[in-house]
Amino acid sequence: MRKYSFTLNNEPVVVKAPPAYTLLEVLRNVLNLTGTKDGCGKGECGACTVLINGKAVNACLMIMEQVEGSDVTTIEGLATDPLGSVVVRAFEKEGAIQCGYCTPGMIVSSTAFLSRNSKPNIEETKEFLRGNLCRCTGYSKIVKAVIEASRG
Amino acid sequence: MESVQIQQASKKDFDVVGKKVVRAGAVLAVLGKPSYTADIATGDLVYVKAVRSSCVHATIESIDTSRAKLLPGVLAILTSKDIPGVNDAGSILSDRPLLAEKVVRHYGEAVAIVVAETHQAAEEAAMLMDIAYTPLPSVTNPNDALKPDAPLVQERSNLVKHMKIRKGDVERGFSQSDLVVENTFKTEFVDGLPLETEAAYSYLEPSGRIACVCSMQNPFDVYGKVVKILGFEKAKLRMIQATTGGGFGPKSDETPIDVAAYACLATLKTGKPALAQFTRDEAMIIQCKRHPFIIKNRTGVTNDGRLLAWQSELIADTGAYVSKGHLVLGRAVFHCTGPYEVPNVKADGYCVLTNNTIAGSTRGFGSPQVHFAAEVQMDLIAERLEMDPVVFRAKNILRPGTRTLTNQRIEDPGLDMCFRKAVALSDWYHKRKQYEQHNKGTSRLKKGIGIALLYHGNTLGPESGDFATVHIAITPDGKALVETGLTDFGTGGMTSLLMVAAEVLGLPYEDVRMSRPDTGRVSDSGPTVASRVTVIGGRATFEAAEIIKNRLSRVAAERLACSESSLIFRAGNVYSNDKPERRITFRDLVVEAADRNVELKSVGYYLAPTTNWDEETGQGSPYNQYTFGAVVADVEVDTETGFIRVGQLTPVYDAGKVINPLGLLAVCEGGSIMGTGYGIMEKIVTSEGVIMNPNLHTYWIPTILDCPEIINSSTVESAGQIGIFGAKSIGEIPIVLPAAAIANAISWATGVKIREIPMTPDKILAAIMNVK
Ligand code: FES
Ligand code: FES
């Protein structure tokens, strides 16, 4: 077991985890923050997207050494964040959800995107979300939701 | 038992049904609290991991657990000998053991399970298992498997089922034809690939009962099997559906049985809560796939474009165990001519065992494969006749009074309506001219437009057992609780049921809720497959709601001093149609009814009429009603790279009376993309039975960049014969046509002939080179 300190959803945390644990494993299995999903564990689906220092990354690819000292925001933290909650509302309004398994990752990615690009067009939105897979919706409502969220 | 009458769709105004109901709180529900199986799993968990065969076909000589057992954290290792009940995880036929006994028949078949304190320990121990195999001859090509000297996959013939259609005299039909066109089509194994992999979590309840929470479509199927595997009496197990991250067929098939049984066996052995979840690669290896088909279509037509004869031979590779293969074959054969009237038809379908990955239920269930082959065949014929594909189809489509290949009379004009609307919305004739001009002026980026049509027999039909049960309870606050073992996994089916209940009871949609499907609370509701929730489940919901409404009507009529027949239930109020000032709120009425001890719980049951057809000739009426559809695809082909860009899809479906328009649109959009992936991207690559691409970087599903720019979905409404308020199935159907429509568009744009999917750039490029 090793100790890791970082900031999680604006609170400092110290966790003990076996070495080589990924951030996804720590979030889900150690901290019981289950909003972040595991769709592949290999950086291929985006279901585990979290923000590290404001950047969208796949939590399943981050081993804890890399997380040490950084600022992590998960879907749990984003749902109450001003921009995050706008995105959540837009997903609701557009019905950009079916089974919901991709949704936390989509919302985290979309929020990261909108925090850097407040007036995105469809192409830019698609380009940013290319790593987030959704098997249910066919994506068009997700694109609409992001554009809708950018309008406030 | 109170009897109920279904009202005719067209004659009634609806308050809730057919309106746009937003699933309020849907996003927050998923974000707010743990709801998927692995999220819920808590306590002093143990983890279960299957030990899987590295061989395609082999005898198990010995299983040595000694090294694995020594690993710290390992609690138990179970093989087939340790199964207390029956070693049977086959969903319909009992041909597949949960854990292999003497022989493994496909790559990745489970031989043992390891139970450990951590996930890591379970995985490591699985790798330390020493299993000695002696390879057996294997067969991975279905044509080879049908040869007399082929190795046997199971202790039975490799031919699982031969299905036949014999209508008219096909040889005479060919001899009267001016043109006979023959083509062979091929489709591949693909993975339905729900984003959440199979998962089950089990724990002991204080009563000693095991509760199992599982990601699945059919709680009662899984329950029925796991109870037997555990050797339990029925009351000792309870199966609950967790929020389920996608279904698409695999979660209605056998892998949910596997994970549920793994977890329950671990709980039984250790007394501890247990979690069994597939990794992504494990899911992609084990999850049942869409059947690959080899389809030979031979079609005779007259010079003026009338279909006279159609002969099909279909070979479906079902892998090492049958799963639902025989039923998939049935649906394929019953639709193999596409939605056209052909007087003479002969079809022979074969479902074949091989040592490949198991193929089973996957969204569309045999229909996408045969529609691809039939609809491309139609365009290849039209080209030979030098006829516009729309004009050619119009001469042959199933209209009221025409007969299908099984000689079933079609009653409604849904196909014609879809066809016309799709042609108009896509601006077909204008685009054909415009693109022809465009293509003359360019050598690289060619534009094409193609069409495909479908019919899809509704619900289970020949697959039998087409019933549903729905419970409704009115709570003291005047709201309704709908409970059933039918499930939702992102399909919106449950929303439709709530809408039906709200409609009948005259409640606002918000006042109707649903509980989690739980075999401990409801009676067997039938499986959630074959796009049947709205159509069949809607009928059962209607019945349950009517029973309660009738009971409440007696109380209301007395209280308002009016006749029961004059009562209107609407927007949370009950009033007399004759004297609308006589009214009572639904809530007050419920309080009053409760005071009088009126039972405010009901069970609605609906069983669809049995369908009949002749085994020898396939003639009869295999389905109670048909959904119709048309899809037009606009594509651009880069003739230098072979890359396809699907610019627009125009899907038009006749889903009968639309109950839940937003849900329907969502399913159409999602299915259109999945169907596009099926057409141009997806393929499980196997080499001698070993899956080479069980991951998302070499098995490509559509990303957000692969979507058509425009999906212009719409519906027409031609009432179905049995569905609730005239509804027809839709859930699976949008996957069916994109592949064929895209193939036809590519062929028209470039002159290449496409007979195989997926139409990946390398194949398109090679075909273009060939044409040149
Ligand atoms: S779980 Fe991390 S990318 Fe799929
Ligand atoms: S909503 Fe199911 S994967 Fe996106």
Collect all residues of chain A within an 8 Å Cβ-Cβ radius of residue B290: none
Query: In this structure, what are the phi and psi dihedrals at residue A100, rounded to the nearest 5 degrees?
Result: 85, -5
Count CA within 13 A, CB hemisphere, residue B694.
22
| Residue range of the domain that includes B207 | 37-137+196-286
pLDDT(B10) > 80: no
- Asked if A82 and A129 count as a contact pair (C-beta separation under 8 A), the reply is no
Q: How buried is B43 (Cβ within 10 angstroms: 0-12 exposed, 13-18 middle, 19+ buried)?
A: exposed
Take residue B555 and report the two structure tokens written for it: 């109380």
CB contacts < 8 A (A, B): 151
Take residue B678 and report the two structure tokens written for it: 């099926």
B206 C-alpha to center of ligand 2: Å? 36
CB contact (8 A) between residue B666 and residue A137: yes
For chain B, give the percent of residues with pLDDT over 90. 94
Considering just the CA atoms, what is the radius of gyration of chain A in Å?
A: 15
Number of domains in chain B: 3
Q: Which of A101, A129, A142 sits opposite B246 (nearest CB)?
A: A101
SS3 B373: helix
Best mutation target among A76, A81, A108, A140 (most B Cβ atoms within 10 Å) is A140
SS3 B531: coil
Inside any domain, residue B370: no
* Rounded Cα gap, residues A129 and B525, in angstroms: 39
The amino acid that residue B194 corresponds to is P
Could you identify the residue written with the tokens 């970087």? Answer: B697
* Rounded Cα gap, residues B164 and B161, in angstroms: 10
Convert the pLDDT of each residue in B686-695 to its tens digit.
999 999 999 9
What are the distances in angstroms from CA B642 to CA A80, B578, B759? 46, 70, 9
In this structure, the answer to whether residues B727 and B630 fall within a common structural domain is yes
pLDDT(B4) > 70: no
pLDDT at B12: 64
* Rounded Cα gap, residues B235 and B520, in angstroms: 8
SS3 B327: helix
pLDDT at B699: 98
B24 C-alpha to center of ligand 1: Å? 28
CB contact (8 A) between residue A134 and residue B23: no
In this structure, the answer to whether residues B203 and B68 fall within a common structural domain is yes
Take residue B242 and report the two structure tokens written for it: 């967790």
- Among the bound ligands, the one closest to the CA of B704: 2
pLDDT at B489: 93
Measured N-to-C along each axis, helices A82-94 and A103-116 cross at an angle, to the nearest 10 degrees, of 120
Convert the pLDDT of each residue in B34-52 to its tens digit.
899 999 999 999 999 999 9
CB contact (8 A) between residue A140 and residue B711: yes
pLDDT at B5: 34
In this structure, the answer to whether residues B537 and B640 fall within a common structural domain is no
Task: Name the pLDDT band for B32 (thresholds 50, 70, 90).
Answer: confident
Strand partners, B474: B480
Convert the pLDDT of each residue in A82-140 to its tens digit.
999 999 999 999 999 999 999 999 999 999 999 999 999 999 999 999 999 999 999 99
Closest-CA residue in chain A for B36? A101
In this structure, the answer to whether residues B585 and B480 fall within a common structural domain is yes
- Among the bound ligands, the one closest to the CA of A39: 1
CB contact (8 A) between residue B705 and residue A130: yes
CB contact (8 A) between residue B27 and residue A107: yes
Q: Which of B22, B245, B669 sits opposite A99 (nearest CB)?
A: B245
Q: For all residues of chain B together, what is the average pLDDT?
A: 96
Q: How buried is B208 (Cβ within 10 angstroms: 0-12 exposed, 13-18 middle, 19+ buried)?
A: exposed
- Asked if B287 and B362 count as a contact pair (C-beta separation under 8 A), the reply is no
Overall average pLDDT of the B584-594 stretch:
97
Convert the pLDDT of each residue in B172-212 to its tens digit.
999 999 999 999 999 999 999 999 999 999 999 999 999 99
DSSP-derived secondary structure letter, A29: I
Convert the pLDDT of each residue in B219-277 to its tens digit.
999 999 999 999 999 999 999 999 999 999 999 999 999 999 999 999 999 999 999 99
In this structure, the answer to whether residues B554 and B665 fall within a common structural domain is no
CA dihedral B335, B336, B339, B343 (to 10 degrees): -110
Could you identify the residue written with the tokens 């399909």? Answer: B491
**A39 CB less than 6 Å from ligand 1?**
yes
Overall average pLDDT of the B492-499 stretch:
94
Reported ipTM = 0.98
* Rounded Cα gap, residues A49 and B625, in angstroms: 44
Inside any domain, residue B359: no
Domain harbouring B123, CATH code = 3.90.1170.50
Inside any domain, residue B356: no
Count CA within 13 A, CB hemisphere, residue B138.
23
Convert the pLDDT of each residue in B394-407 to its tens digit.
999 999 999 999 99
SS3 B467: strand
Domain boundary among B565, B587, B607: B607
Inside any domain, residue B362: no
Take residue B600 and report the two structure tokens written for it: 């405010």
Do β-strands B293-301 and B179-186 pair in parallel, antiparallel, or remain unpaired?
Answer: antiparallel
In this structure, the answer to whether residues B207 and B250 fall within a common structural domain is yes
Overall average pLDDT of the B76-91 stretch:
97
Name the nearest CA neighbour of B672 among B707, B716, B715: B707
- Asked if B723 and B466 count as a contact pair (C-beta separation under 8 A), the reply is no
Ligand 2 shell residues, CB under 6 Å: A 97-102, 134-137; B 195, 246, 490
Convert the pLDDT of each residue in B332-358 to its tens digit.
999 999 999 999 999 999 999 999 999
Cβ count within 10 A of residue B661: 15
In this structure, the answer to whether residues B640 and B716 fall within a common structural domain is yes
CA dihedral A119, A122, A124, A126 (to 10 degrees): 140
In this structure, the answer to whether residues B537 and B601 fall within a common structural domain is yes
Measured N-to-C along each axis, helices A103-116 and A140-150 cross at an angle, to the nearest 10 degrees, of 40
Q: Among A37, A75, A102, A110, which residue has the most ligand 2 atoms within 8 Å of its CB, making it the best to mutate? A: A102
In this structure, the answer to whether residues B407 and B537 fall within a common structural domain is no
CB contact (8 A) between residue B27 and residue A32: no
* Rounded Cα gap, residues A72 and A49, in angstroms: 11
* Rounded Cα gap, residues B214 and B676, in angstroms: 30
Convert the pLDDT of each residue in B537-557 to its tens digit.
999 999 999 999 999 999 999
* Rounded Cα gap, residues B497 and B488, in angstroms: 11
Could you identify the residue written with the tokens 């022989």? Answer: B103
pTM of this prediction exceeds 0.95: yes
Inside any domain, residue B159: no
- Asked if B414 and B628 count as a contact pair (C-beta separation under 8 A), the reply is yes
In this structure, the answer to whether residues B599 and B631 fall within a common structural domain is no
* Rounded Cα gap, residues A111 and B117, in angstroms: 37
Q: Where are any strands of DSSP class E within chain A?
A: 2-8, 11-17, 49-52, 55-58, 71-73
* Rounded Cα gap, residues A21 and A27, in angstroms: 10
A149 C-alpha to center of ligand 1: Å? 25
pLDDT at A152: 77
Do β-strands B74-79 and B110-116 pair in parallel, antiparallel, or remain unpaired?
Answer: antiparallel
Domains and CATH numbers, chain A: 2-75 (3.10.20.30), 78-150 (1.10.150.120)
- The DSSP-derived string for A45-81 is S-TTEEEETTEEEEGGG-BHHHHTT-EEE-HHHHTTS
Domain boundary among B574, B589, B607: B607
Count CA within 13 A, CB hemisphere, residue B641.
7
Query: In this structure, what are the phi and psi dihedrals at residue B485, rounded to the nearest 5 degrees?
Result: -90, -5
**A60 CB less than 6 Å from ligand 1?**
yes
Q: Per mean pLDDT, which range of A7-16, B536-545, B576-585 is the poorest?
A: B576-585
Domain harbouring B599, CATH code = 3.30.365.10
pLDDT at A92: 93
In this structure, the answer to whether residues B77 and B101 fall within a common structural domain is yes
Measured N-to-C along each axis, helices B255-270 and B219-230 cross at an angle, to the nearest 10 degrees, of 40
Inside any domain, residue B145: no
**A137 CB less than 6 Å from ligand 1?**
no
pLDDT(B558) > 70: yes
Measured N-to-C along each axis, helices B325-334 and B367-385 cross at an angle, to the nearest 10 degrees, of 30
Convert the pLDDT of each residue in B93-127 to its tens digit.
999 999 999 999 999 999 999 999 999 999 999 99
Inside any domain, residue B553: yes
SS (H, E, C) B505-529: HCCCHHHEEECCCECCCCCCCCCCC
Given strand B480-483, what is the order of strands in its sheet?
Answer: B512-514, B480-483, B467-474, B601-607
Q: Where are the alpha helices (DSSP H) in B106-166?
A: 119-127, 142-145
pLDDT at B7: 35
DSSP-derived secondary structure letter, B196: S
Collect all residues of chain B within an 8 Å Cβ-Cβ radius of residue A107: 27, 31
Considering just the CA atoms, what is the radius of gyration of chain B in Å?
A: 27
Q: Please give the angle made by the CA atoms of B314, B315 and B317, to the nearest 5 degrees.
A: 145
- The DSSP-derived string for B647-711 is EEEEEEEE-BS-S-HHHHHHHHHHHHHHHHHHHHT----EETTEES--STTTS----GGGS-SEE
Name the nearest CA neighbour of B529 among B485, B471, B482, B481: B485
Domain boundary among B587, B607, B627: B607
* Rounded Cα gap, residues B276 and B287, in angstroms: 15
Take residue B698 and report the two structure tokens written for it: 């070499």
Inside any domain, residue B521: yes
- Asked if B723 and B625 count as a contact pair (C-beta separation under 8 A), the reply is yes
In this structure, the answer to whether residues B455 and B560 fall within a common structural domain is no
